Chain A
Amino acid sequence: MLNNPFRLGRANIGARLTACFVAIVLSMMAADAIAIWQFTRTAAPNRRLAQADQTSLSVLRVQLDLSIFRESLTALASTHGIRQFTIEATAVRQKFVEDVARSAELLGSASDTEQDPAIRSALETLRIMLPSQLDTAVELASAGDWAAVSLRLRDQVQDLVDVSSLLVEKVDREVSQQRAAAIESGRRAQRQLTLVLPITALLTLLVAVALGWYATQSITHPLSKLEAAARALAQGDFQHQVAIRGEDELAQLGQVFNDTTQRLAALYETLRTNEARLRLTIDTIPAYVWSALPDGSVDFINQRWLEFSGLSLEQGLGWGWEAAIHPEDRADFVEKWREAIESGKAMETEARVRRADGQYRWLLIRNVPLRDETGKIVKWYGKSSDIDDRKRAEEELRAAETRFRAFVDHATDALFVHDEQGLIVDVNRRACESLGYTREELIGMSPFQFDAALDEVAVQRLVERSRSGENVAFESLHRRKDGIIFPVEVNSRSFWFGDRRFALSLARDITDRKRAEEALHRSESYLAEAQRLSHTGSWALNPRTQQYSYWSDEMHRIWGLNPRNGVPDFETVRERLHPEDRERVLESLNRTLREEKDTADEYRIVLPDGAVKHIYTRRHPVFNSTGQLVEYVGTTMDVTEQYRSRAALEKAFEEIQELKDQLYKENLALREEVVRASMFEEIVGASKPLETVLSQVAKVAPTDSTVLITGETGTGKELIARAIHKRSQRSGRAFVSVNCAALAPSLISSELFGYEKGAFTGATQRHIGRFELADGGTIFLDEVGELPPETQVSLLRVLQEREFERVGGTQSIRVDVRVIAATNRDLTTAIANRSFRQDLFYRFNVFPIAVPPLRDRKEDVLMLVEYFVQRYAIRANKNIRSIGQKTLDLFQSYDWPGNVRELQNVVERSVILTTGDVLRVDESWFSQESSEPPFAVQAPSPLAAGQRQEREIIEAALAESRGRVSGPSGAAARLRVPRSTLESRIRALKINKSQFKFGSRNSS
């Protein structure tokens, strides 16, 4: 169909559409005609049926007319009314004739059906016979023969009625047959109609759709081709051709398109050629060219620019070119470019642009806008020119000018340029600074206006001298604007510049030089004075001639030579050297000259009067810039006085050393004396038990044996330990005391053996243990019975091997320590309780010393009281002369469970409270303490009992003391054990003291 089988494509679109519409209308009309035909066929049977009915009715009416005719005429005949009879007969005859005629007509119209011939003959018989019968009846009636009339009516008319009945029967049969045929025909037509109507409607629709689709396709297909072609053209495909068959408008349009495309392709090719030429031209011209859109984004860059910058086209387009602008110029350039874009005005600026090799070059950049006919900017065109050489030249020129100006301005001398009249035409900055005038003020001035030593005439004279070519130099005085005058040295000379002569004057401020000269003169005076006062002369020696080139005045004075005779020759000096030192000094000098090094000598010289001087000389070689030895300079000091002082000092030192040695010896003797005297310092008493102890101390002290000191608390076990240490060979080293009961159980090891940094949380640095501290000396382990088992093991190793490791450490540390242990516990019981190691006990128990309690040496009480009274009276600044008898009795009678420490405390308390010169004590102090604790007898020492029993004893004591441990009524006193010991056991047994606070355990 698309190939146009009906060749409709040759027609134009309007005709094609009209033809399609006509065809559609015709097909619809044909369908309608078929439908009408079918409807007509459906109506024909009905019509025949109606016709048959009418025929039947007319025949029935004929039969009815006959019946009515016979009845009415018979009735009239009986009346013998001729007239009425005639009228009625006429009327009946007319009606009968009409009905017969209608029936005949109806039967005649049904010609399409086959009729029985008897029907028509019967009807014809009726039509002929009845009128004749009526006529006969009327004639008879008129004749008055009514009987004949009645007879005739009865016999003759009856025959007609029979004919009519036969007629009706036949017609009725005919009609029935026709009706059945009509009904059948109608049904058949109905069926055909229901089939034909949809078929015709569908066919009509198909025809309309087919024609409509064809018409649409014949337009849209070429149009889509044209659209695709237009798109291709829009995308620059100038080779695209459209193939549309036919001769309609679209085909012609396609042809036009193809022609246009070909022309455009030719034009495009021409354009490309021209563009390539233009691009070649743009890329070739010695300039950097680009174009930008109205918003400033670059859309074209010529090749030269890309080659210059090293950027790719993609990198340079848009705003990518910014990267090539020097960072210092970028912001300014972009700002100007944006201003130009906003204002629409041409832009011209200079900026440094990075070249492909990374070097920045100055470019002159110009941008101009291109406007359309409405004045709207459609494009920006830009061009850059390399002005780097010019720029550098300008900069160099500027730098040279600046440099030259800086040279002139930074010249240390004031510079004046005069014209031929002597007037100033230019000055440098130094000239302005030195005179206090501005440059503008100085220009036009004459030198005599600021030169205090010149007048106008003198200036003119100088100008003339300078004009003659003479280099004029003189010293003068310049006056500053503020009036201050300063000395200058002026050098002036004339020169030609073009065709004019000028004079250049340099004025140097010589204030510093003048001051320096004065200072030098003064310095020389100071130096000479210093040399005189320090007896130090200075000299210089020419190494080549080996002659002195300079001698200071002090040198002459030291050597006894007259300065007026000038620098002495070497021989004169040599003669003055002491004969015993001469060779050594000369040899030293020769070595100095040979080795070119600093040297020093001490020697003697002999003056003409025989006086000997001690001399100290230092020599120093001086080299020039090339490293050659130029001369020797040196100092010579008269050290005769120092020599004598040093000799005296050395003698004094010898004496001091002798005294020191003597003092040391005396000190040793005294220390021994002190040690002997204080061997048992603070061990007061003369009782037999104490003497026994002291005797043991004296015997064991010199040895290194381990000592175990036992005794009740307060008996002075540490004093015994100290006494042993002082009497030992280790007395010069440390005595370290450790109360094992006072240390936290978990810290005992770390305290005794030390620990490394980080050994445990809290070990923030390395800690030296007590054993290390006691290295070479003695360690005193008090309350050793309180040591926890794990520490006992460690201690055993130390005692056996004399080495240990710090907690957290891996290195064994050896120590040389003497161990003295002390305890108030019965260690044998503790061993039985397994709270103390037996092997450790034997290690300690090498030399046991049992310190007696005070109650066992009561004869020492008075001595101790006196001793402590004296000590505390001095400390309290009191004068206690005697002790009351009652007090003495109390002291003597008391058992002192706390031993010497308790006695000491009581005495201290008494001294504090005593107001007069007689010491007294309050009896109440002893009332509690002197009475034997009631439970002390019954209750065995808790430390001597088993653990369960120990717990019971301690808890009982705590219950009695309401939880208190310390104090006279505390559990410790009741149990006669040290407070610290009891505390330790309470902790070890995990007894809660607080539960006894309110009197009984259960009360809590």
Chain B
Amino acid sequence: MSCKIERLLNSNNSVVLRVSGRIEGEHVDTLREVLGREEQGVALDLTEVNLVDRQGVKLLAASEANGIELRNCPAYVREWVSRMNRNANSGREP
């Protein structure tokens, strides 16, 4: 399964990155690079994400901590990201 990242521009000129497929392996780096190119206020639409590995979740957690909105986040990814953020706040290794 591949990973596809589409850049959508809303009517209010805010950017939404719609990710499809899997966020794992080299796709994590690709997504990080794409996020790095965007200004503030970008959102990630994870509706079509099937699978996220640990590095992917770390990236999503870090992105959310940096103010990037995670839209339509699959439940398991949502739970994992939240847990990672909680552990990060408590100083434990997630």
Contacts and interface: CB of A to CB of B under 8 A. Distances in A.
B6 A744 contact: no
Instruction: Please list the 8 inter-chain residue pairs (A to B) with the smallest Cβ-Cβ separation, ordered nearest first.
Output: A744-B48, A744-B20, A761-B5, A762-B3, A746-B20, A747-B21, A747-B20, A762-B5
Q: How large is the interface on A (under 10, 10 to 19, 20 to 34, 35 or more residues)?
A: 10 to 19
A751 B2 CA distance: 7
Contacts of A751: 1-2
A84 interface: no
A155 to B, nearest CB: 149
Given A745-B48, A747-B20, A762-B5, 20 more contacts: A743-B1, A743-B50, A744-B50, A745-B20, A746-B4, A746-B20, A747-B1, A747-B21, A755-B2, A760-B4, A761-B4, A761-B5, A761-B6, A761-B34, A762-B4, A762-B21, A763-B2, A763-B4, A767-B2, A987-B47
A12 interface: no
A744 B20 CA distance: 6
Nearest to A993: B75
A979 to B, nearest CB: 13
A266 to B, nearest CB: 88
Contacts of B20: 744-747
Contacts of A760: 4-6
Contacts of B4: 744, 746-747, 750, 760-763
Contact of A746 (B6, B27, B31): B6
B10 to A, nearest CB: 16
A937 to B, nearest CB: 31
Contacts of A746: 4, 6, 18, 20, 48
Interface string A743-779: 1111100110001000011111001000000000000
30 contacts: A743-B1, A743-B50, A744-B1, A744-B20, A744-B21, A744-B49, A745-B20, A745-B48, A746-B4, A746-B18, A746-B48, A747-B1, A747-B4, A747-B20, A750-B2, A750-B4, A751-B1, A751-B2, A760-B4, A760-B6, A761-B4, A761-B34, A762-B3, A762-B4, A762-B5, A762-B31, A763-B2, A764-B27, A764-B30, A987-B47
B5 to A, nearest CB: 4
Contacts of A743: 1, 50
Nearest to B27: A762
Contacts of A742: 50
Contacts of B49: 744
Taking chain B's interface residues, is the majority helix, strand, or loop, or is none over half, making it mixed? strand
A12 B6 CA distance: 109
A317 to B, nearest CB: 60
Interface string A717-757: 00000000000000000000000001111110011000100
Interface in B1-21: 1-7, 18, 20-21
Chain B CB within 10 Å, residue with most, of A742, A762, A764, A767: A762
B79 interface: no
Contacts of B18: 746
A673 B66 CA distance: 63
A752 to B, nearest CB: 11
Contacts of A750: 2, 4
Contacts of B2: 747, 750-751, 755, 762-763, 767
Interface in A522-567: none
A743 B49 CA distance: 9
A762 B30 contact: yes
B26 interface: yes
A744 B21 CA distance: 6
A995 to B, nearest CB: 13
A229 to B, nearest CB: 80
A987 to B, nearest CB: 7
A761 B47 contact: no
A355 B26 CA distance: 65
Nearest to B29: A764
Nearest to B17: A761
Question: Which of the listed residues A755, A764, A987 has the most CB atoms from chain B within 10 Å of its own CB?
Answer: A764
Interface in A959-1004: 987
A761 B20 CA distance: 11
**A744, A745, A755: most-surrounded residue (chain B CB, <10 A):** A744
A772 to B, nearest CB: 14
Interface in A338-358: none
Contacts of A744: 1, 4, 20-21, 48-50
A763 B27 CA distance: 9
A361 to B, nearest CB: 64
Interface in B27-67: 27, 30-31, 34, 47-50
Contacts of A747: 1-2, 4, 20-21, 48
A293 B18 CA distance: 81
Contacts of A755: 2
A791 B4 CA distance: 16
B74 to A, nearest CB: 10
A978 B1 CA distance: 22
Contacts of B30: 761-762, 764
A855 to B, nearest CB: 32
A270 B18 CA distance: 99
A201 B73 CA distance: 113
A617 to B, nearest CB: 62
Nearest to B18: A746
Contacts of A763: 2, 4
A722 B1 CA distance: 22
Interface in B54-93: none
Contacts of B5: 760-762
Interface in A276-321: none
B48 A761 contact: no
B60 to A, nearest CB: 15
